[in-house]
Amino acid sequence: MQGSRDKLNRTVIKKIPSIYRRSLREIWEDLWTMLVVNSLWIIANLLVIPGPPATIALQAYANRIVHNEVTDLSDVWQAFKRSWGVGWHWGAVNLAGVGLLAVNYYLVSNALDVNLGSYLQGLYIAVGLAWFLLQFFALPFLFEQEQMKVSLALRNSALMIGRNLRFSFLFGLSLLVFLALATLTFALGIMFGAVFLALAGNFAVNDLLEPIRTDRNIPPTPDL
């Protein structure tokens, strides 16, 4: 049992380069649409209020691509119009989580004990990165579940990370490296960063769910 699980883990980890390759290929094959979708997402987040539903719509767009469904800007618009409820539910959870982390980080940065403060700052940075990874996988899960519930997506994300710790750690680390490199090419990061992350997250979740679907004969769940 342990041997087969280790073999599965190694197989999944080997998919990390494939996830990046497929995400970049999808962007390359439809640069204009990807640029428009990414730009609309940036504008929506700058306006704040439409930011969360725009993020859900971006994920819906990426999910359709990952499942080889024909999609265009009209699908993004339809998903955006339907996503205000779930979008702001997800947004509220994130505001609370990030706000709590930020407040605690600020408080410990002014701690009297410098050594303790530095340790706690490092701890909160690690928790923040873990929170990002949790959200990174939770958003695609919204479209792989029978019900688009944020709490269920977070639970599924946490379970998937827990069952695929090595993959999650290496994939998260590679994402940090990739994003750091993207900052060196600032324009490309701005133009395609969000849509790349959405594609990579959906490809990753889909790849991890594939063996489970095969074993249980479960078809992909339709998105919005």
pLDDT given at position 224: 41
Read off the pLDDT of residues 70-97 as tens digits, 9 standing for 90 and up.
888 999 999 999 999 999 999 999 999 8
Please name the amino acid found at residue 220: P
Task: Give the Å distances, CA to CA, from 192 to 9, 22, 32, 203, 218.
Answer: 30, 14, 10, 16, 32
Give the separation between CA 99 and CA 118, rounded to whole angstroms. 20
**Confidence at residue 113, expressed as pLDDT on a 0 to 100 scale:** 61
CA distances from 216 to 32, 101, 143, 145, 188 (A): 38, 39, 18, 15, 40
Contacts of 125 (CB under 8 A, 6+ apart): 105
Helix, strand and coil percent figures for the chain, each rounded to 5 = 85, 0, 15
**Residue 145: per-residue pLDDT:** 84
* Mean of all residue pLDDT scores within the chain: 84
Of residues 163 and 211, more confidently modeled: 163
pTM here?
0.83
In a 3-state reduction of DSSP, which class is residue 218? coil
Range of lowest pLDDT (2-16, 111-125, 199-213): 2-16
Query: Would you state the pLDDT for residue 196?
Result: 94
Averaged pLDDT for residues 150-172: 89
Residue of higher predicted confidence among 142 and 217? 142
Tokens (6 digits) for 141 = 């899960």
Are 157 and 141 a contacting pair, CB within 8 Å?
A: yes
Per-residue pLDDT band for 1 (boundaries 50, 70, 90) equals very low
Please compute the mean of the pLDDT values over residues 34-48 and round it to a whole number.
Answer: 94
Residues 82-116: b if buried by 16+ CB within 10 A, e if exposed = bbeebbbbbbebbeebeeeeeeebeebeeeeeeee
pLDDT band for 13, please (50, 70, 90 cuts).
confident
